Amino acid sequence: MKKLFRFFGVLAGLGTVIWVMRDRFISLALPREPNLPTFRVAPHPPLPHEQDPLKDDLTILKGVGPVYAARLEDAGITSLAGLGAAQAEALAAIINMPADRVGAWIKEAAFLSSFQGN
């Protein structure tokens, strides 16, 4: 009886080792992908010659992310100079934001656009 338990113990141990090492054995047999699938790769940013020269990156302003930049673009604001010349209350009503927050963006945009020569 002891020999039978010992046999099944060794058999179970071997089965456990194979079960634990199965991922290593399987991964050696599978071919490697040379390139990542397209759904995992981030789209490339547009090259400088592909960008609109009249359009500025509004996300450089503090508190403006992609969503708020899209709202500003929908409102017709595509440059720092255009944002710097806007009226805070009118623009805040259009993009559904608090006027004091939009006012801070306008001040910062006017300051930054002064360095561009606009």
Per-residue model confidence as pLDDT tens digits over 54-111: 677 888 899 888 898 999 988 888 888 888 888 989 999 998 889 999 999 999 998 8
Torsion angle in degrees (nearest 10) through CA of 108, 109, 110, 113: 130
| Maximum separation of any 2 CA atoms in the chain, in Å | 94
Sequence spans of domains, the chain:
1-32, 51-116
pLDDT of residue 107: 92
- Considering the four listed CATH numbers 3.30.420, 1.10.760, 1.10.150, 3.90.220, the one that applies to the domain covering 51-116 is 1.10.150
Can you read off the two tokens belonging to residue 24? 């290593």
pLDDT of residue 28: 61
Tell me what the mean pLDDT of segment 19-32 comes to.
68
Instruction: With CA atoms as reference, report the closest residue to 62 among 30, 107, 31.
Output: 107
pLDDT of residue 115: 77
Residues shown for the chain: 118
Coil, helix or strand for 96? coil
